[in-house]
Structure 1
Amino acid sequence: MRQHDVSAPRPHRRRSVSRRSTTALGLAVAALALSGCAGRVQDGFLPRAATQNGEQVTRLWNGAWIAALAVGVLVWGLILWCVVAYRRKKDDTTLPVQLRYNVPMEILYTVVPVFMIAVLFYYTARDEATLLDTSKHPDVVVNVVGKKWSWDFNYVNEQTYETGTQAELTGEPGAEKNLPTLYLPVNKRTEFVLTARDVIHSFWVPAFLQKLDMIPGRVNRFQVVPTEVGDFKGKCAELCGAYHSQMLFNVKVVPQAEYDAHIAQLKAAGNTGQLDNSLSSKKIMPNQQGILQDSGTK
C-alpha cells in the first residue's frame, strides 16, 4: 500500500502561496514607486517647472498623456470586448461571415488617427511658437557661449562676463562649486542669446523644461521668466565630444539685489566688456541697438 507524505505541500497550495507572494511583491513595488513620486503626479513626473515657460510645457505634456491614455483605454477596451464577445464557443464549428472590405470601418480608422495627429500638432505648434517668442523686451540679456567643454556667460546689458573652464569631477563633495555659475534675477524676463565657438552644443537647464541648440555661425535665442529662487543645474544636451558629460554649469536664481551684487563683483574682478565669441554684439543683438551700445568685444 502506497503511503503519501502528508508534510509535502499540495500543488494548489503552492500556486496559492505563489499568487499571494506575487501580489504582495507587486503591491510593495507599487507603494515604493508611489512614495517616491508623491507630489509629482500633477507635473506629469517631469521636474517641477521653475519658469513660466516650464509651466506651459508641463500643461502640454500632461494634456498629451491624458489624450494618449484615453485613446489607449478605448483601444484596449475594444480589444477585450472583441476577445470576450467573439470568442469561439465549444459547440460552434462555423466560421463567421468573411468580409473582404468594410468601407465605413476603413474610413473610421483613417480619419480618426489623422484628426488626432492634427490636434496634437496644433497644440504643439502653438506652444512652440510661444516658447520661442522673443518679441517682448527682456530685463536681462545673457549671451551664453558654448565651447569644448565649458561655458562663458556675457551679461550684455551690464557689459560684464563670467568665463568657465572644463569641470574636474573628482567624485568628492563640493566639486560643483568650481563650475561656471549663471546668475538670473527672479521674476525678471531673461533672454538667452546662444552661440557656439566650435561644434554644436545645446543649452539645457532641466528645471526650465526648455533647451535649444547652439550652432556655430548661427544665433539662437529664447526667453524665460524664472519664478522660483534657488540653485539649479545646467548641462549640454548635445553630444559634443569626449568630455561632453562634464560640460556642466550652475544656475542661481536670486533676488534683484543679489543679482546686482554679483554683477558688481564681476566688474570689480576686472571682467568688463564682453568675451569674444567670433560674433559682434551688433549681430548678436540686432533688436537691442536702441538700448545697448556696441562697445566692441574684449
Structure 2
Amino acid sequence: MYDLWVGSVIAALAVGVFVWALIFWCVVRYRKRAKDELPVQTRFNLPIEVLYTVLPFLVIAVLFYYTAVVQTNVNQLSATPNTTVEVVGFRWNWQFNYRTGPGKDARTEASVTGDSDYVPILVLPVGQSIRFELTGRDVIHSFWVPELLFKRDVFPGSIRSEFEVTIEEEGRYVGRCAELCGAYHSMMNFEVVAVSPAKYQQYVAALKSGRTSPEAMAIIGFTGKESFAVTTEPFPTKRDAAKEN
C-alpha cells in the first residue's frame, strides 16, 4: 500500500510539472508584443486533441490497475488467522474482545473495556496474522491506528467490517476514532501495545483469570505508569458526577 501511495504521488508530480511547463511556455512564447496583430485562430488540431484524450486515459488506467491489485491484497483474509479480536465501538469508548477464532460462532476468551480510570489498551502479538472484526452499539465510528496504515468504519447492527494485519515491530501506538460520532468524539482514543507472542499469551491468560488490564500489563512487564496509556487521556465517563462535585 505504501508503494502505491509513493507511485501515485510521483505520477501526480510528473503530470503537474508537465502541465506547468506547458502553461509557462505558452505564457512566455505567445505573450503579446508591440504591433502584434491578432494571431491565426486555429479551429482544431486533431493530433493534440487525440493526445490529451488518450494520455490521461492511460494514466488513469495504470493507476486503476495497481489500485485494484493492492486493494485486493489488503482486503484478503486468511482462513485461520493466528489472533482474532472483536472491536466494539460505542459512545465514547472501545471494547476489545479476544476471541477463539473468526466468525460469530467463536466465543470471547477475555475482554477489555475503557472507562474513567484508563484508556483501553489493545495488546497484540508481533509476527502473527491478526484478524479484526469491527462492530458498533450505537452510531458509526471508525477504527484507526495510523502506524498500521489502516482505517475502517465501525457500523452498528449486523454489519461487521473485517481486515487483517501483521505487526512487525514491538511498540506502542495511538489509536483513534476517525468518524465524528458526537460531542466527545475527540476523546475516543485507545492504545495498541505490540509485544512478543509469549507475552501476548501471558496477557490474555491474566485477563481470563480475572485480572484487570493494568494488572495484566504489569504481569508482562509494564508496571506503574507504563500499565496505563502514556500518550492519551482516559475518557471521563463519570462526568455527571464530577459536575455535581
Deviation at 1:108, TM superposition (A): 1.8
Q: Could you list the runs of 5+ residues in structure 2 that have no partner in the other structure? A: 102-107, 213-245
- 1:167/1:247 contact within 8 Å kept: no
1:194 aligns with 2:134: yes
Q: 2:22 aligns to what?
A: 78
Q: CA separation in 1, counterparts of 2:148 and 2:116? A: 22
Q: Distance in 2 between matches of 1:93 and 1:84?
A: 15
Q: How far apart, CA to CA, are the structure 1 residues paired with 2:202 and 2:78? A: 28
Output aligned runs, 1:270-285, within 5 Å. none
- Structure 1 residues 62-71 or 113-122, which shifts more? 113-122
- Aligned with 1:98: secondary structure? coil
Normalised by the length of structure 1, the TM-score is 0.65
Correspondence for 1:182 among 119, 122, 128: 122
Correspondence for 1:51: none
Is 1:206 aligned with 2:146? yes
Partner amino acid, structure 2, of 1:268: S
How much has 1:82 moved relative to structure 2?
1.7
Tell me if the contact between 1:142 and 1:190 (Cα under 8 Å) persists in the aligned partners: yes
RMSD of the TM alignment (CA)? 1.8
1:135, distance to aligned residue in structure 2 (A) = 3.1
1:227 aligns with 2:168: yes
Aligned to 1:190, the other structure's residue is in SS state strand
Asked whether 1:218 is paired with 2:218, we answer: no
Match of 1:134 in 2: 77
Q: Does 1:160 align with 2:109?
A: yes
SS at match of 2:168: coil
- Residue in structure 1 matching 2:205, options 264, 282, 291: 264
Counterpart in 2 of 1:143? 86
Match of 1:63 in 2: 7
Structure with greater proportional strand content: 2
- Once residues 213 and 150 of structure 1 are traced to their aligned partners in structure 2, the CA distance between those partners, rounded to angstroms, is 15
The CA deviation at 1:115 is 1.9
The residue type paired with residue 62 of structure 1 is V
Note the C-alpha offset of 1:270: 6.5
- Structure 1 unaligned runs (5+)? 1-56, 169-177, 272-298
2 CA distance for matches of 1:255 and 1:114? Answer: 47
Whichever of the two has the greater Rg, that structure is: 1
CA drift at 1:161 = 2.5
Q: How big is each residue's C-alpha offset from its partner over 1:23-53, in whole Å with a ceiling of 9 and x where there is no partner?
A: xxxxxxxxxxxxxxxxxxxxxxxxxxxxxxx
Matched, 1:248 2:182: no
**TM-fit CA distance, 1:201:** 1.0
Residue 88 of structure 1: CA displacement?
2.7
Show CA shifts across 1:2-43 (max 9, x none). xxxxxxxxxxxxxxxxxxxxxxxxxxxxxxxxxxxxxxxxxx
Give CA-to-partner distance per residue, 1:241-282, whole Å, 9 cap, x none: 1111111111000011111111111011168xxxxxxxxxxx
Structure-to-structure mapping, 1:88-99, within 5 angstroms: 88-90=32-34, 92-99=35-42
SS in 1 for 2:202: helix
| Aligned counterparts of 1:230 and 1:264: Cα–Cα separation in 2 | 21
Aligned mates of 1:100, 1:85 — CA distance in 2: 20
Q: Distance in 1 between matches of 2:68 and 2:116?
A: 37
**Aligned mates of 2:192, 2:78 — CA distance in 1:** 24
Counterpart-to-counterpart distance in 2, 1:240 and 1:163:
21
Amino acid of the structure 2 residue aligned with 1:134: L
Percent identity over paired residues: 49
Q: SS where residue 204 of structure 1 aligns?
A: strand
C-alpha deviations, 1:154-173, integer Å up to 9, x for none?
Answer: 111284222323567xxxxx
Counterpart residue number, 1:10 = none
Secondary structure of 1:81's counterpart equals helix
